[in-house]
Structure 1
């Protein structure tokens, strides 16, 4: 279980493969899982590890805020692909003989039909994939007197099906002004960036503008 040594190419390859269809180590927002794996690296992955580098840059953008990610930190070896589960699944597939031998043609025919039905039922239970994206938004206030806590509450009050708000932090932009950087996960066919920008900009007493800082398919 786990990625192995993340300071060599074997470990980085395992991390890169694991993140091929994921934005985070666990779940749909940054967590202690990301913080632990991030600390296990000696630095930014090489460009050849495209998925790992994308993830690294995303987590690195939070700076010191990584320690405030939600969740409970576990040992590095507790995160990553579960080799035992994969081997067990492979063994199950190997043991499944679609055309096993029978003592007679009639028995073989009935047995084959039963196995085909069981195989079809097993396949039908697999959940349909839902296209999702992880979006990092920069929400800028009017000035340094804007109540940023109230601004974040306003942003999180935007609720709709297919939208889940994640971690947030304040980032200095100059002259004592800070912007709100907040992450969310959306279902692509239900929520778009135009909807988010329009809804958040509606709080015109607090919000000057909204920009998409990062957009990643999950």
Structure 2
């Protein structure tokens, strides 16, 4: 019975040594035939090329060059557009007593070449204070007595 337990313990030590990637010879035990077969299979994995071969790289490089050339031709055909910017402004009043409808009228009264006012809405800030959020292409910071500050909330190239 002691011999059977010793043999079972020896097999377990060999398996643990294989799992820890330590050689069974370093532990002073010989590995069973089954484990040696597993080690040989692991050694055979070196033949697998996980990253592809050089032939694939040449084909991929040719394909990349072709796509870049097609993209450049397509880009050259497009007419150059005049870039405009769409700006979403947050106009914050000094306090909750500011008439937001009148403030929006004052803001929209600003007229400049190239100015196009878009949609607007009142967004709650806190403590009953609302800010005016309005889309435009202009600077409105000169309304000194009604506007505390102007921040660009969003900026998109069109």
Structure with larger Rg: 2
TM-score normalised according to structure 2 size:
0.48
